Amino acid sequence: MLNYFIFTLFPLYCLIHYYTAMRLISLTLCIVVITVGAKAQPWLENLPAGKPRQELTFFDYQRAFETYWAPYLVENGTYIENGETKKAPGWKQFKRWEYLMEHRVDMKTGSFPEQTALEITRAYQQNHPSGRGSDQSNWISLGPASTPGGHEGIGRMNCVAFHPTNLNTYWAGAASGGLWYTDDDGATWTCLTDKEESLGVTDIIIPTDYDQSQTIYIATGDRDSYDNNSIGVLKSTDGGLTWNATGLQYTLSQRKFINRLIQHPTVSGELIAATTDGVYRTTDGGATWDAEVTDHVFIDIEFHPDNPEIIYGSNFEGELYVSLNNGASWTRTLNDFAGKRVEIAVTPAAPDWVYASPKVEDWMASINPWIKV
């Protein structure tokens, strides 16, 4: 039992606690211990012959491990041999280390970090001494703070859109309360969709030529609770006084949802909708829609801030996809098995950054670690 701990558990235990201890020397020592314990972990014999230990990458270890265990058809740390269930020594420990490290290494080369998280944090703080203390933002609640109905809660808001030139005018979409409009910076509000069949609003598009066109697009339904079905994308050409169905339309009984609606940043009338049936695009202001993706259900989609040929999409399965050809094809660039729903965000202030949140409590930020765009 002692030998099993020394040669099998301890090496991966060290690797697992590499980031907990935040010391680079831990990784070196653990690799040395793994080398000593090679007899207890025969998969290490699959590592590249002649490659210096200090040059071994995450992918080298991963391939060596998977190559060794592939014939055994291991599931959850056990395999069947001659009708008998046997444990795969070190399998679970490796998988825990693999999960811990896969988002910490260079995703292109598999190289291990040369700096600890603490060192990076300290370097950033040294280069940005003002930190958050310089933030003078002053957030003010615009209400409402209570409901006359007496029920618990005041309603959830799904989205907000702003007038392209008038800072006092904006729109808010409610989960089950419709589309609301203010032209006095939130002092008063008017509902624009009381007569529509679906009172949920998932997204709002206000074109840059709104002053001339008076056009508004809304994605109906509520993607987050699935109790307010979509009737598709609605369009108004009179500032929301009246609404018309577009070519992307449903009946409530179909129980369809539109998860996200975005507009091409430079092409007027071109919109992309991420729905529970896939991704659809219109180039004629909503009159017709073409199915572009039918094998993925994206919860969120975003254009690259500087290059509309690049589109990002995420789903409910902890995955992030990217298209480099305006949606013609997609490549998975993040697969966080622990995550479920993934929300993404981009900003013109840092166009090569993509922010992805696979879990509510865990934000991850990276500068194109998966695909260089």
Q: Is the pLDDT of residue 365 over 90?
A: no
Is residue 79 one of the residues assigned to a domain?
Answer: yes
Claim to verify: residue 271 and residue 308 sit in the same structural domain:
yes
Is residue 133 one of the residues assigned to a domain?
Answer: no
Is residue 372 one of the residues assigned to a domain?
Answer: no
The predicted-structure confidence for 131-146, as pLDDT tens digits, reads as follows: 555 566 788 877 666 6
Claim to verify: residue 327 and residue 211 sit in the same structural domain:
yes
The predicted-structure confidence for 303-360, as pLDDT tens digits, reads as follows: 999 999 999 999 888 888 999 998 888 999 888 756 678 889 999 998 988 888 876 4
Is residue 206 one of the residues assigned to a domain?
Answer: yes
Global pTM value: 0.61
**Interior CA angle at 35 toward 23 and 41, to 5°?**
110
Claim to verify: residue 110 and residue 246 sit in the same structural domain:
no
Give the model's pLDDT for residue 339. Answer: 67
Is residue 191 one of the residues assigned to a domain?
Answer: yes
CATH number of the domain bearing residue 199: 2.130.10.10
Q: Do 13 and 90 form a contact (C-beta atoms < 8 A)?
A: no
Q: Is the pLDDT of residue 253 over 80?
A: yes
Q: Do 369 and 352 form a contact (C-beta atoms < 8 A)?
A: no
The predicted-structure confidence for 8-25, as pLDDT tens digits, reads as follows: 433 443 443 433 333 443
Number of domains observed in the structure of the chain: 2
Claim to verify: residue 161 and residue 122 sit in the same structural domain:
no
Q: Please give the Cα distance from 13 to 41 (Å, whole number).
A: 14
Claim to verify: residue 163 and residue 281 sit in the same structural domain:
yes
**76-93 as b/e: b if 16+ CB within 10 A:** eeebeeeeeeeebbbbbb
Claim to verify: residue 185 and residue 99 sit in the same structural domain:
no
As beta bridge partners, residue 366 has 354
Q: How many CB atoms lie within 10 A of CB 26?
A: 18
Is residue 230 one of the residues assigned to a domain?
Answer: yes
Q: Is the C-alpha dihedral spanning 40, 42, 44, 48 positive or negative?
A: positive
Choosing from 127, 147, 177, the residue where a domain stops is 127
Give the model's pLDDT for residue 31. Answer: 43
Helix, coil or strand: residue 62: helix
- Binning pLDDT at 50, 70 and 90, where does residue 39 land? very low
Q: Is 9 exposed, middle or buried (0-12, 13-18, 19+ CB in 10 A)?
A: middle
Helix, coil or strand: residue 32: helix
Claim to verify: residue 24 and residue 119 sit in the same structural domain:
yes
Least reliable range by pLDDT among 91-95, 103-107, 255-259:
103-107
Q: What is the mean pLDDT of residues 82-104?
A: 90
Phi, psi of 133 (to 5 degrees): -65, -20
Give the model's pLDDT for residue 34. Answer: 43
Q: Do 173 and 203 form a contact (C-beta atoms < 8 A)?
A: yes
- Binning pLDDT at 50, 70 and 90, where does residue 29 land? very low
The predicted-structure confidence for 275-317, as pLDDT tens digits, reads as follows: 999 999 999 999 999 998 888 899 999 999 999 999 999 988 8
Q: Please give the Cα distance from 80 to 90 (Å, whole number).
A: 16
Range of the domain at 281: 155-367
Claim to verify: residue 193 and residue 97 sit in the same structural domain:
no
How many CA atoms, within 13 angstroms, populate the side-chain half-sphere of residue 164? 13
Is residue 21 one of the residues assigned to a domain?
Answer: yes
Claim to verify: residue 11 and residue 58 sit in the same structural domain:
yes
Claim to verify: residue 200 and residue 288 sit in the same structural domain:
yes
Choosing from 108, 127, 146, the residue where a domain stops is 127
Is residue 35 one of the residues assigned to a domain?
Answer: yes
The predicted-structure confidence for 54-92, as pLDDT tens digits, reads as follows: 899 999 999 999 999 999 999 989 999 999 999 999 999
Give the model's pLDDT for residue 35. Answer: 39
Q: Please give the Cα distance from 210 to 231 (Å, whole number).
A: 24
Claim to verify: residue 116 and residue 196 sit in the same structural domain:
no
Strand 290-293, strand 300-303: pairing = unpaired
The predicted-structure confidence for 187-222, as pLDDT tens digits, reads as follows: 889 999 988 888 899 999 999 999 999 999 999 999
Q: How many residues does the chain have?
A: 373
Claim to verify: residue 242 and residue 108 sit in the same structural domain:
no
**34-49 as b/e: b if 16+ CB within 10 A:** beebeebbebbebbee
